[in-house]
Amino acid sequence: MVLTDTHTHLYYEIDPEALAALMQRSLDNRVSRLFLPNVDVASIPLVMNLASLYPQNCFPMLGLHPCDVKETYKEELASIYAAIPAQKIYAIGEIGIDLYWDKTTLANQLEAFETQINWAKDLNLPIVIHCRDAFDEVYAVLLKHRDEKLRGIFHCFTGNLDQAKKIIDLGFYLGIGGVVTYKNAGLDSVVAQIHLDHLVLETDSPYLPPVPFRGKPNESSYLVHIAQKVADLHQIPIEELARITTENSTKIFGI
């Protein structure tokens, strides 16, 4: 069985021994494919270091997180774009719009989002979208840029069935994480109604840990609990769920 964590910030752990332990627990749980989204310029070397330590298991992507769209975002974008040729990347991400923390930066977030969508199209790469309290805004941008090159993952999907269908109709996959295990979130009933061909799994570690680890830092090894929940919702063995979602990740990332 091979499980794929399509979205993990495991590289935030900078202690070498602790990082090695995180990776070993992940591999022990057969989570052997990890995709690493960048968030800002400072995290580029962290992403690339983990990818270089585990080249068969860790795959980098680069992008400017919407929460990191600050006053100097144009310089940040330029620096991230300049870093792309240095090592093979597998997506532009994570990018998008976040209106939970700060609505005043929406115009700049929109510009950064669209700029990076154009990078992805030019480089023939998928995008990995962060969306928080901004579904309508993100969806409008995706409609505007919709074509045969626009593809990727709607990371940390927690929306309703109608929203899920809209994203799927655009050709995107839904990234399903720990929230699907939360009793009152309602995501489980949505995921149960979505064909597995449209889903990938993720942890978003160290955030959003699944049951039974709520209140603790998340890690990629916990993906097995997310996978088991989704498998149960679709009444299939976890091994089959792992096969389908890993195949979906391969279609997206090309590896």
- The CATH number of residue 213's host domain is 3.20.20.140
Give residues with Cβ within 8 angstroms of 221, minimum separation 6. 22, 25, 26, 28, 29, 31
Q: 197 is written with which tokens?
A: 């061909």
Structure confidence at residue 88 (pLDDT):
96
Q: How many CB atoms lie within 10 A of CB 180?
A: 27
Structure confidence at residue 17 (pLDDT):
98
Rounded Cα distance between 178 and 202, Å, is 8
The total number of structural domains in the chain stands at 1
| Alpha carbon 186 to chain centroid, angstroms | 20
Closest of 246, 213, 214, 208 to residue 227, by C-alpha? 246
- Sign of the Cα torsion 56, 4, 202, 219 reads negative
Query: By the 8 A CB rule, do 224 and 3 touch?
Result: yes
What is the number of alpha carbons within 13 Å of residue 50 lying toward its C-beta?
A: 33
Classify residue 7 by its DSSP letter. S
pLDDT less than 50: residues of the chain: none
Q: 102 is written with which tokens?
A: 């700060």
Q: Where are the alpha helices (DSSP H) in the chain?
A: 16-28, 44-53, 73-83, 106-123, 135-145, 161-169, 187-191, 223-233, 238-253
Domain that holds residue 70: 3-253
The pLDDT tens digits for 60-91 are 999 999 999 999 999 999 999 999 999 999 99
Closest of 101, 30, 92, 111 to residue 67, by C-alpha? 101
